[in-house]
């Protein structure tokens, strides 16, 4: 099994428990790891035989449009489900970095899911 990673993709989503925090999109950094067998892609050199990381990143950039979440835990679960459903890796790890505390570098949540 091999891994494709997207590291610290900058997105702007509406996330936060108080209504005022969700009033405008805020910067989040997403790190996505997708695990699958890439043996076929290594032989064919075809994008059709692998996880298209560009397509994943484009979908993530638009994923927050018209939506909001109170918890980054729920957001991580929704992102993982979308990637597993739409792009078919065997496993996905989603890390979300949020910047709500001025004295901290960031707060993060990491979620791992695998396809049934």
pLDDT number for residue 99: 96
- What is the reported pTM? 0.95
Helices (H) and strands (E) in the chain — how many of each? Answer: 3, 5
Q: What is the mean pLDDT of residues 79-85?
A: 98
For the chain, give every domain's residue range. Answer: 2-114
pLDDT digits (tens, 9 = 90+) for 49-73: 999 999 999 999 999 999 999 999 9
Q: pLDDT-derived band of residue 116, with 50, 70 and 90 as boundaries?
A: confident
Alpha helices in the chain (DSSP H): 39-44, 53-62, 72-87
Q: Is CATH 1.20.120.80 the classification given to domain 2-114?
A: no
């Amino acid at each position: 099994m091999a891994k494709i990673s997207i590291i610290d993709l900058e997105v702007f989503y509406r996330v936060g428990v108080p209504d005022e925090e969700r009033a405008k999109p805020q910067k989040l950094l997403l790190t996505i790891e997708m695990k699958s067998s890439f043996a076929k892609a290594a032989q064919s050199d075809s994008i059709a035989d692998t996880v298209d990381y560009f397509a994943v990143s484009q979908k993530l950039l638009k994923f927050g449009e018209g939506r909001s979440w109170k918890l980054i835990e729920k957001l991580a679960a929704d992102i993982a489900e979308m990637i597993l459903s739409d792009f078919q890796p065997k496993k996905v790890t989603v890390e979300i970095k949020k910047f709500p505390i001025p004295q901290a570098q960031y707060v993060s949540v990491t979620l791992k899911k695998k396809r049934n």
